[in-house]
Structure 1
Amino acid sequence: MEDLHQNEKDSFKLPAAFFFLLLLFNMFTLTEEPVKELALLTVDATYMLAIFALGFLAAGRMHFPRQFKLFYLGMLSLAVLYVLMFIFSPAAHDREILSTILLVLSFLLAVVQMPWKNTQLDIFAYMSAGLILLILVHWLIDGLQMVQFQGLIRNPTIMGSMLAALMIFPIARFKAAHLSGKIMLGAAIGSGVLLIYASSTRAVLLLLIIMAGSRVVLHLSKNLFSKLFYLVLAFNLIFTLIYGSLSRVSFLEKFNEWSLNTFNKSLFSGRQNIWDKAIAHGADNPLFGHEIGILPKDFIEGTHYVHSHNQYLQIFLESGLVGLASFIVLLFGIWTVLMKGLDLPIARWAACYFLGLLFYETVDMSLFHYQFSVGLLQWLIIGAALSTVMYTTYLRKNDQETPKNL
């Protein structure tokens, strides 16, 4: 634990900046060639860096406090289940998807084990703010497009998801910033909201609403806030099960018309055409699922959908109820740790963002599939918050002063 005794001025600013720049460049996997190919290489470099960091940390000492037991249990059980599924039936599974899931888990573990300093979190905040402002300039030059803005990204939904993730570090570090920093971070936060609205991404707008609403709830009652995790997951389950039926309810046609007029999108985006069939297909093998990397075309003839648009449903299809249970244990483990650090700005805002992200993963996928470059940034937010809680708890137990604004 000797690293904990370092003064913040000794924090590795340059490596932190390089690491975050790598994550930002990974976003170009979602744009055009030849930049896309180069970005795919930086994604591989990110994974290798995470493996190297784990090796470096293991050579010293890795920390597994009791308060993290559910988090590590969920992570380990999910990884072991997917590996065993592949071992017993290698021909039936997608090696690349399996590798991605294991590498993402390794990345998360490395981020959690790193003792992040305030100066490093500030670097993440200002680099995020800088990128948001650059996207704003692009939006202004592009003619102030207010519908389905996507910038250099091929998909407005992915643009919105990326912007939401980029806003978290600026929000978390806003209060600790000096006046000039507050101006820059505040401008980036406001610009992020505007650009997300311009992207017409309803799911991300709802993510922001949930995040803001949960922050209000936390201000009013910490006890009530702690229950929101269960409420959001229960809503996700019910929403997934009944969404297909809702599309057949006549009085919702007016809401559908409003959505078309407001967002230029139907209220029923077509997910009802996937989810009902996906649930039925998953029920054919409910315990252990069908195959890693399963796609809608594998159970819906002639479909044009490239993924299930639901992270929970995708895991259920791949690994059944056992895999879904492991995933929920991982999510619950994250939540229990964040609840122990709500006095820390990064943990507080990460918890609010996490609630919004839980909903977002009901209508799209980023944590392990599809938008994996955005997912790495999302995992960094969560992992940095968990790490801060872990190391701050250690400092407090050893009667050491917690750095200001940590």
Structure 2
Amino acid sequence: MENIQKTGKFEIKVSTLITVCLYLLILIGSMNAMESSLKIVGLLSLISTLLVSTIGILIFIFVKKNFLPLQFIILFIIIISTVVCFFSVINNRYDLKDLINTLQMLSCFNLLVFVSCIKFDYSKLKFINLFVTLFITFHFIIWIISGCPRMFASIYNNSNLIGPYMFYSSFFLILGFRYSKKKLLYSLILFMSFILILASDARSILLSVFVSIVIFSFWKYISKSQILSFIFFILLISAILMFVFVYPILPTFSFFNSAEQWMVTHTGKSIMSGRNVLWVPLIEMINQKLFLGYGPGTLASDLIATDQSPHNLYLNILMQIGYIGLFLNILLFLVIWHGLTKLRNNFIARLVGSYFVGILVHQSFEITLFQNQLSVGLLQWFILAVGLSVVIETSLSKNHK
């Protein structure tokens, strides 16, 4: 009995250490978005994160023998997605970028599965929030010293980054506020993160914040039944995909001019942001290779005259691995959503679910979930992994009763 107790304590310490180290590596990985020589530190940190999670999930696969059906489904989708990438490469001209992006996608999936296998409790949240607090305070001080500017980019090369970093970091602050007695401290840090989101002036993340708040507020209605939650998910994905095809032709609608004038007057920015010029010709190219796309390493600049990314995850997936690849990713999202909505009265599942929808909306304007600023994507996958962890632990508890 004594040996068993010691082993249990050892496992808890190791899992806490691994979880906290992974999250710290992701935060350090944000330095990859800097223009200084410290960029290499961020890159090495991201590589370390993906390497640790990949080794970790391999250990779990070979050692753990009581995987739940949910975990088997996710692993199956991951394997099929990798196979689709392989066939997409065969169907097109091979490039080193194809291998890199495939491994990057697979590593993101590995992080999701690995972290979801770790049981979360307040001890892990407490240590993670220590680094989150330092991270947010650091950027807030820089904002104050800089004179509280708009379009605030902090140490990064793009003001569109500080908003997502603050928003996705705030997830653990909310959990800390919920489960800790230090509510005043967490309220202060949350307030600082929200100020920085506003200072970044990134409309996409502000929309994601708004959507997440709405989902959190109406969670009990959305998750009232599995049928209702499924219908909501299908409508959400349909709206997101419809946006890809409707947004570029907005200037052709009669209401556009008045809406554009209101937007410029109140925000100083245009509705279109130039994406219409990029998406229309890109969609025409995608239609030529519907099922497997042009290869996982394909850039928009390989197909059309541009030096920009599509700024849309779903369009990017269609471009690279076609409708089959997009279907598999949506299926994975549906599996995660189904697991979360089953825990209707669980606060963590509710919070993860609201952030999840915010992430899906955010990816209508970015492709961070797999590529580009991967440190943002890893924060997103980490949040989803926490939700899956709660779903798995709840299922295991029910099975043991």
Say whether residues 1:270 and 2:274 are aligned partners: yes
TM-score of the pair, normalised by structure 1 = 0.89
Identical positions, percent: 24
- From the superposition, tell whether residues 258 and 4 of structure 1 become closer, same or farther in structure 2 (CA, over 3 Å): farther
- From the superposition, tell whether residues 294 and 90 of structure 1 become closer, same or farther in structure 2 (CA, over 3 Å): closer
Counterpart of 1:251 (choices 227, 249, 255) is 255
Correspondence for 2:153 = 150
Correspondence for 2:344 = 342
Kindly report which structure 2 residues correspond to 1:85-234, keeping only aligned pairs within 5 A, or say none.
Answer: 85-87=88-90, 89=92, 91-92=94-95, 94-145=98-149, 147-178=150-181, 181-220=182-221, 222-223=223-224, 227-234=231-238
- From the superposition, tell whether residues 3 and 48 of structure 1 become closer, same or farther in structure 2 (CA, over 3 Å): farther
- From the superposition, tell whether residues 74 and 16 of structure 1 become closer, same or farther in structure 2 (CA, over 3 Å): closer
2:363 maps to amino acid:
E
- From the superposition, tell whether residues 54 and 199 of structure 1 become closer, same or farther in structure 2 (CA, over 3 Å): same
Q: Could you say what secondary structure the match of 1:306 adopts?
A: coil
After alignment, is 210-219 or 48-57 more displaced? 48-57
State the shift of 1:225 in Å.
5.5
- From the superposition, tell whether residues 258 and 339 of structure 1 become closer, same or farther in structure 2 (CA, over 3 Å): same
Mapped to 1, the partners of 2:129 and 2:214 lie a distance apart of: 22
2:21 maps to amino acid:
F
2:179 maps to amino acid:
A
Correspondence for 2:63 = 60
1:366 maps to amino acid:
T
User: Per-residue CA shift, 1:19-72, capped at 9, x if unaligned?
Assistant: 221110000100122110111111111122112212332342154312445433
Q: Could you say what secondary structure the match of 1:262 adopts?
A: helix
Mapped to 1, the partners of 2:350 and 2:69 lie a distance apart of: 21
Counterpart of 1:83 (choices 58, 61, 86) is 86
Correspondence for 1:404 = none
Mapped to 1, the partners of 2:13 and 2:299 lie a distance apart of: 48
Query: 2:92–2:294: 8 Å Cα contact kept in structure 1?
Result: no
1:191 maps to amino acid:
M
Mapped to 2, the partners of 1:389 and 1:234 lie a distance apart of: 26
- From the superposition, tell whether residues 8 and 64 of structure 1 become closer, same or farther in structure 2 (CA, over 3 Å): closer
Correspondence for 1:365 = 367
Q: Could you say what secondary structure the match of 1:94 adopts?
A: helix
Correspondence for 1:32 = 35
Query: 1:163–1:196: 8 Å Cα contact kept in structure 2?
Result: yes
Say whether residues 1:290 and 2:294 are aligned partners: yes
Correspondence for 2:54 = 51
Q: Could you say what secondary structure the match of 2:155 adopts?
A: coil
Number of equivalences: 394
Query: 1:54–1:110: 8 Å Cα contact kept in structure 2?
Result: yes
Structure 1 unaligned spans of 5+:
400-406
Correspondence for 2:394 = 392
Mapped to 2, the partners of 1:80 and 1:30 lie a distance apart of: 31
1:75 maps to amino acid:
I
Mapped to 1, the partners of 2:179 and 2:81 lie a distance apart of: 37
Query: 2:222–2:232: 8 Å Cα contact kept in structure 1?
Result: no
Mapped to 2, the partners of 1:3 and 1:262 lie a distance apart of: 61
Query: 1:291–1:318: 8 Å Cα contact kept in structure 2?
Result: yes
Query: 2:87–2:292: 8 Å Cα contact kept in structure 1?
Result: no
Counterpart of 2:76 (choices 57, 73, 77) is 73
Mapped to 2, the partners of 1:300 and 1:132 lie a distance apart of: 39
State the shift of 1:227 in Å.
4.0
Mapped to 1, the partners of 2:342 and 2:6 lie a distance apart of: 22
Q: Could you say what secondary structure the match of 1:214 adopts?
A: helix
Q: Could you say what secondary structure the match of 1:184 adopts?
A: helix
Correspondence for 1:402 = none
TM-score of the pair, normalised by structure 2 = 0.90
Structure 2 unaligned spans of 5+:
none
Q: Could you say what secondary structure the match of 1:324 adopts?
A: helix
1:308 maps to amino acid:
P
After alignment, is 213-222 or 366-375 more displaced? 213-222
Correspondence for 1:403 = none
Query: 1:8–1:119: 8 Å Cα contact kept in structure 2?
Result: no
